Chain A
């Protein structure tokens, strides 16, 4: 909540203060016309038009729409990459609330927000990809395909999205000043966290289990009965890498929304995250090799798909693992930050290898998603960035709100406001 002292004499209404940062509507709109926003709008627009075309003329108008490759970029990126990237929520909540790693406190809300938005926009991808998106609640309320892995994914993503919203509620209620609600949702934190971990374990791995049904279609180097385990382990280092990247970007570009607690210790937290990610990457690397050994598929490594597989596990799994260790060892934040990007690219690469490149490997033609799908994906990602920025700059995510001493500071601020303003806005406060 930013109480802008300069324009307090304007006396913002409650809504005006919450939504327009105390500015008048016109002033607020004018304040939005920044170079960043204008560029974002230009990037956003083409994909948005394509989304309208998709709803008017059907999926075929924006995706190649083949019967052999029913899943394009929306599933391969939006769901299969978006969901592991969004594991930040359960990772940070588990570390802080369950494992008692109190040092990570400044990153917990950021993790939950990133996770929530990740899931939310994964669902947005689904709403574009599903033939009849308005039937999205059918698996919950109308017709139950209980033997389906996707049924589990649908339920869990829906439940987890709600759980994460609940976990993020303290920030929302603090922002709105709903103290009672805030106290209530804070009480269920631990329960919600545990529930979230259960759901995450199951649906992260279930995304891998989706492909268990396609032994003939997924290339044998990637198809193993352990796919669910791989997907789950991968989601952990994906989430840790996203956490490193997002918090670094916040420090770089949203510095005015952070507080001392966030910025002062961030480097050490990044090293901690990098250490954890390196460990998980190494387990993942070993698991991948074990799977090849277990199926005795070494001979496949000298085929084109084998080279792809080797690229994946050496460049995108082993390298980030090594670089994270290097960055931590030599206390080099830059290396850690760049490695997080490398490992995220690796997650996308490996998921695409399963769902696009190595999918239908026996067929002569490989189908790569067209530019329209990429344009729509970029639009959704831009929306995600804008929504993220909006939330972070309105709600207490990167900064403390509740700490006792901070309240005092705020009370001081309010007193100052009251002194300068003839009819001050009433804060709900006991």
Chain B
């Protein structure tokens, strides 16, 4: 057993090496999201929306999406609740208004642009990113197509090009990142004839939303959706009726979702450093015990397994 020491050294080297991997992983896992004050967002006031779908049409145009299955001026789409797809980054759904039957409530759905997006913390190649401007953007050039972002998104917003064999993409709203970096507002915001959406700094939008709630008693539910949900989102909503009645998820957690995996990831370096020592120790213990046993039985020892 002259390789005992060598094995020990090897195990020690492994421990050293792997703790290095662990340390770097940990360091990189801490993504700093400082500078949140300058992030932009959109405040959507559901009480103003008339369901004209001008936003959908504008989104289609800005993002050069394929022709819709049903034209944008048709009311037929409201018969069923829709979701975002690879052909439509935003959709408007209609819900009955419990206060006034003749005035249904319309709700526009798109990416919420979370402050700490679950999709970004899910992506194993960092294809999804929260930008300083507030958008959550997607880099097609590195995406593997594992679709963990879709599974991870608490709102199930990202869609996938399942029928594209060569360059399938994850598709979702980018808050018109290309436009806002040029100083323009997102396509849907610009197209809205009823001024349902307000684009601006997120902090200002929250102040504005509070003011609206205070100045119009009884008009809105006293809640800004997206202020706390999933740790805060860039897209905020005001609604005249309880949010769960107009298709919002109200049982989401009020903290950033990346916190749910942080605990696990922080154990990684511990395992990487402790296991080699522990297992190497057990190995040294058992092998020295075996050796002793062998020495005791030395003389009559023979392989004797098979003739």
Contact = CB atoms under 8 A, between A and B. Distances in A.
Interface in B223-262: 249, 251-253, 257-258, 260-261
A404 interface: yes
A329 B144 CA distance: 50
A400 B164 contact: no
B305 A197 contact: no
Interface stretch (A141-149, A171-179, A319-327, A422-430): A141-149
Contacts of B306: 259-261, 400, 403, 405-406, 409
Contacts of B123: 145, 148, 150
B263 A213 contact: no
Given A136-B144, A150-B146, A403-B303, A55 B151 contact: no
Interface string A182-213: 00000110110111011001100110011011
A12 interface: no
Nearest to B253: A215
Given A190-B7, A259-B306, A68 B156 contact: yes
Given A60-B163, A67-B159, A145-B127, A213 B121 contact: yes
A65 B263 CA distance: 32
Contacts of A259: 306
Contact of A131 (B28, B154, B168): B168
Given A148-B121, A217-B151, A98 B260 contact: no
A71 interface: yes
A214 interface: yes
Given A197-B279, A213-B260, A404-B303, A147 B31 contact: yes
Mostly, the A contact residues are helix
A102 B290 contact: yes
B251 A67 contact: no
A132 to B, nearest CB: 5
B164 A58 contact: yes
Contacts of B144: 130-133, 135-136, 138-139
A214 B303 CA distance: 55
B184 interface: no
A131 B160 contact: yes
A102 B289 CA distance: 12
Contacts of A384: none
Nearest to A211: B151
Contacts of B143: 131-132, 135
A58 B165 contact: yes
Size class of the A contact interface (CB-based, 8 Å): 35 or more
Contacts of B121: 147-148, 213
A144 B276 contact: no
B84 interface: yes
A147 B28 contact: yes
Nearest to A152: B268
Contacts of B70: none
B280 A100 contact: no
Contacts of A60: 162-163
A183 to B, nearest CB: 12
A346 interface: no
A35 interface: no
Contacts of A56: 165
Contacts of B252: 216
A147 B29 contact: yes
B305 A70 contact: no
Nearest to B28: A146
Contacts of A133: 144
A154 interface: yes
Given A197-B275, A213-B260, A216-B252, A70 B283 contact: no
B162 A58 contact: yes
A98 B122 CA distance: 35
Interface stretch (B10-18, B94-102, B208-216): B10-18
B48 to A, nearest CB: 28
13 contacts: A60-B162, A65-B163, A67-B158, A67-B159, A99-B282, A131-B144, A147-B29, A152-B25, A194-B279, A202-B272, A212-B264, A214-B151, A217-B151
Interface of A: 54-61, 63, 65, 67-68, 70-71, 94, 97-100, 102, 129-133, 135-136, 138-139, 142-154, 187-188, 190-191, 193-195, 197-198, 201-202, 205-206, 209-210, 212-217, 225, 228, 259-261, 360, 362, 400, 403-406, 409
Given A133-B144, A139-B144, 20 more contacts: A57-B165, A61-B163, A65-B162, A67-B158, A94-B279, A130-B144, A130-B146, A131-B160, A131-B161, A135-B125, A143-B127, A145-B123, A146-B126, A148-B148, A150-B122, A198-B279, A209-B264, A216-B252, A217-B151, A403-B303
Interface of B: 3, 6-7, 10-11, 14, 18, 25, 28-29, 31, 83-85, 118, 120-127, 142-148, 150-152, 154, 156, 158-165, 167-168, 249, 251-253, 257-258, 260-261, 263-265, 268, 271-272, 275-276, 279-280, 282-283, 286-287, 289-290, 303-307
Closest 8 CB pairs of A and B: A131-B145, A60-B162, A100-B286, A65-B162, A146-B28, A70-B147, A131-B168, A70-B150
